[in-house]
Amino acid sequence: MKFKQFYLGCLAHASYYIGSESEAAIIDPQRDVQQYLDEAEANGQKIKYIIETHSHADFVSGHLELAEKTGAEIIYGQRANTTFPTHKVKNGDELTLGKIKLKFLETPGHTPEGITILAETEGEPLKMFTGDTLFIGDVGRPDLVGSKGFTAEQMGAMLYDSLHEKILPLPDETEVYPAHGAGSLCGKSLSKETWSTLGNQRKNNYALQPMSKEEFIKIVAADQPEVPQYFPKSASKNLEGSSSLADLPKPVALSSEEIAKFDGVVIDVRQNVEYGKSHVPNSINIGLGGQFASWAGTMIPIGTSIAIVAETQEQVDEAFMRLARVGHDTVKGFILLENYTGETKTVEQVSVQEVSELTKTEKYLQFVDVRRIAEYTNGHAVRTSNFPLDKLSREIDKLDPKTPTYVICQSGYRSSLGASILENAGFVKVYNVTGGTQAWKDSGLEIEVSATACASSK
């Protein structure tokens, strides 16, 4: 068996190539598909099947473009309401791929149409491609499909049955390959590991421990992060089919005057320190060095006109690609900083030691932690208030724009985006705390733990 995992860190997304003899299949492809074509050519194989474990919500898939370029069949579970030609599979269906037998299990729970693929070939361990049904260390969240007529409790019950009736009866040595890893919002506590064995997961995955269906539903539905606004749009787009990347209009170079008057969102893709030193007014900072695409999808409504501020053309091209991966097909323009001659602004970067001293001496300051609620409750710097980044704009009226405001996250990445949002909202003095809560902890500064986190750890 020819086998390769393609892991896309910025979306915590795993796709797969499997092949035998002259045939190959791609499982859960990302939107830019050239790497799969290159892999097939290198192996002397033809892509026969493109298999989607479900309608992904956190990225736009390239299945339609890949099918057009290869003539491969697109495979979905029988419940998927696709608008393009699709080979629908039901529980127990089998297909062949050279000497590989592909068996399909219907495993609803994260989505109604979810499937799991078993790849069996003589002399090798059984490979199981679980999509978002079973992760390493977690299971798929059951609360993403309310608009499809199912409650989180109903989906949780389906998920329990899928795991206990379809997946857990398989041998311990079965290799587990999910569609996502740590950082994905398709679950709440995914491992950094990108594969495991079923035996290992049986022992170590909290959701696979012995419990009743009612207990399972309660535990998997609890403490899930807020659903990003772009998720439903990506899921719908994947059932309709997205356009080829080559067909998307490329952004045009803008002048300093045009970027200043741009009717849309201007994204500066540099690191937080660079942004802080000097940036275009009214731009927001989403650095390419972090989960750029996820945060762009979360913070900017799909369909919004976007312009990019960058240092190099390579950064513009990368940002364009990564925005397209989450459905932002409306990047209109860009400017390279070497060509920008207009007014600039700054966001001062301050160390955790400086802020710690200020919390002891200054009565009037605002210390804003923009991490997710679960992160905050498990330990935060003293005097902070929690305004999760995806809710910051909606809750901004709870803050005083005239009071010096210090923004912190885990590392300094999200807080720079938060600081840029506050600056654009008219806050007079905004500071980004470099190194974030991790640096605060590493420096031995005082940490507070919320009562809810204490209770849950007992």
CA distances from 165 to 4, 118, 160, 385 (A): 28, 15, 8, 44
Q: In this predicted structure, what is the pLDDT of residue 225?
A: 75
Indicate if the pLDDT at residue 455 is higher than 60.
no
Instruction: Provide the token pair at 150.
Output: 């199912």
Q: In this predicted structure, what is the pLDDT of residue 183?
A: 83
Q: In this predicted structure, what is the pLDDT of residue 148?
A: 65
Instruction: Provide the token pair at 56.
Output: 């992904």
CATH code matching the domain that covers 2-239, chosen among 3.40.190.10, 3.60.15.10, 3.65.10.10, 3.40.225.10: 3.60.15.10
Helix (H) / strand (E) element for 259: namely: helix 256-260
CA distance 390 to 406: 17
User: How do the domains of the chain map onto residue ranges?
Assistant: 2-239, 248-339, 348-456
Tens of pLDDT along 156-203? 999 999 999 999 999 999 999 999 998 888 877 788 999 999 999 999
Instruction: Return the higher-pLDDT residue of 145 and 225.
Output: 225
* From 161-165, 192-196, 264-268, 452-456, the region with the lowest mean pLDDT: 452-456
Average pLDDT over residues 295-302: 95
Instruction: Provide the token pair at 84.
Output: 């393009």
Q: Which of 119-133, 148-162, 178-192, 442-456 has the highest mean pLDDT?
A: 119-133
Instruction: Return the higher-pLDDT residue of 323 and 454.
Output: 323
Tens of pLDDT along 54-73? 999 999 999 999 999 999 99
CA distance 120 to 131: 17
Indicate if the pLDDT at residue 145 is higher than 70.
no
Tens of pLDDT along 272-294? 999 999 999 999 999 999 899 99
Tens of pLDDT along 361-410? 998 999 999 999 989 999 999 999 999 999 999 999 999 999 999 999 99
Indicate if the pLDDT at residue 146 is higher than 60.
no
All residues at 6 or more sequence positions from 94 whose CB lies less than 8 Å from its CB, including other chains: 101, 102, 103, 104
Residue range 248-339, CATH number = 3.40.250.10
* Domain 348-456 in the same topology as domain 248-339: yes
CA proximity to 269, closest of 185, 331, 180:
331
Indicate if the pLDDT at residue 308 is higher than 90.
yes
Indicate if the pLDDT at residue 324 is higher than 60.
yes
Give me the phi and psi of 314, to 5 degrees please.
-60, -40
Average pLDDT over residues 39-55: 98
Indicate if the pLDDT at residue 91 is higher than 80.
yes
Average pLDDT over residues 126-130: 98
Q: In this predicted structure, what is the pLDDT of residue 190?
A: 87
Tens of pLDDT along 440-449? 999 999 999 9
| Amino acid of residue 332 | K
Indicate if the pLDDT at residue 457 is higher than 60.
no
**Can you say whether residue 102 is alpha, beta or left, with left for phi > 0 and alpha for psi between -120 and 50 degrees?**
beta
**Span between the terminal Cα atoms of the chain, in Å:** 47
Average pLDDT over all residues of the chain = 94
Q: Looking at the whole model, is its pTM more than 0.85?
A: yes
- Count helices and strands (H / E) in the chain: 15, 24
Architecture of domain 348-456: 3-Layer(aba) Sandwich (3.40)
Residues in the chain: 458
Q: Are 103 and 117 in contact (CB under 8 A)?
A: yes
Q: In this predicted structure, what is the pLDDT of residue 451?
A: 58
Q: In this predicted structure, what is the pLDDT of residue 285?
A: 98
Average pLDDT over residues 424-452: 92
Indicate if the pLDDT at residue 452 is higher than 70.
no
Q: In this predicted structure, what is the pLDDT of residue 189?
A: 77
Q: In this predicted structure, what is the pLDDT of residue 226?
A: 79
**% of the chain residues with pLDDT over 70:** 97
Average pLDDT over residues 13-32: 97
